[in-house]
């Protein structure tokens, strides 16, 4: 008899590596190479090259990055899912999300910006955003000089 449903098994073919149980409270930067299941409380950052599953009663106050994120709990922080972000009906995210594929069940709550990116484009978009900010800063400083010259 399997503890996990078919969808969860598909998200983590390697099996779960780290489980943060319902009575566990983790504070700090959490970095992993494998899959993570959170059923308790995490504050800080969570980063994994594997998959992240957030249980229905879990509370995360952290920026999150994973290949796939399956959320049924509460995340207060930015979520970066390199492939797929799934929000079940009990999910709550307060923060910006960035993902390749977004799946939202009726009743899920998302308060933040959503950026859809194809796999591999994340780095390119970050570089473009940085160059746009630099150009904007340069043009603002140039317009300040023109204003001063007019006085």
pTM score, two decimals?
0.71
pLDDT digits (tens, 9 = 90+) for 10-44: 444 555 589 999 999 999 999 999 999 999 999 99
d(CA 43, CA 124) in angstroms, rounded, equals: 29
- Mean pLDDT, residues 62-69: 97
pLDDT the model gives residue 8: 47
Q: Which helix (H) or strand (E) holds 10?
A: helix 6-11
Which distant-in-sequence residues (6+ apart) come within 8 Å of 110 by Cβ? 87, 91, 93, 97, 104
pLDDT the model gives residue 10: 47
């Amino acid at each position: 008899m399997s503890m996990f449903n078919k969808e969860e098994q598909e998200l983590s073919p390697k099996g779960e590596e780290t489980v943060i149980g319902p009575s566990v409270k983790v504070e700090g930067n959490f970095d992993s190479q494998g899959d993570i299941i959170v059923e308790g409380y995490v504050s800080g950052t969570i980063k994994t090259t594997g998959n992240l599953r957030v249980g229905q009663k879990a509370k995360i106050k952290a920026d999150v990055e994973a290949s796939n994120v399956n959320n049924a709990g509460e995340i207060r922080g930015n979520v970066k899912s390199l492939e797929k972000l799934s929000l079940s009906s009990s999910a709550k995210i307060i923060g910006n999300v960035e993902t390749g594929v977004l799946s939202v069940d009726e009743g899920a709550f998302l308060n933040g910006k959503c950026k859809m990116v194809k796999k591999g484009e994340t780095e390119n978009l970050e570089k473009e955003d940085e160059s746009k900010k630099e150009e904007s800063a340069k043009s603002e400083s140039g317009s300040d000089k023109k204003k001063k010259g007019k006085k």
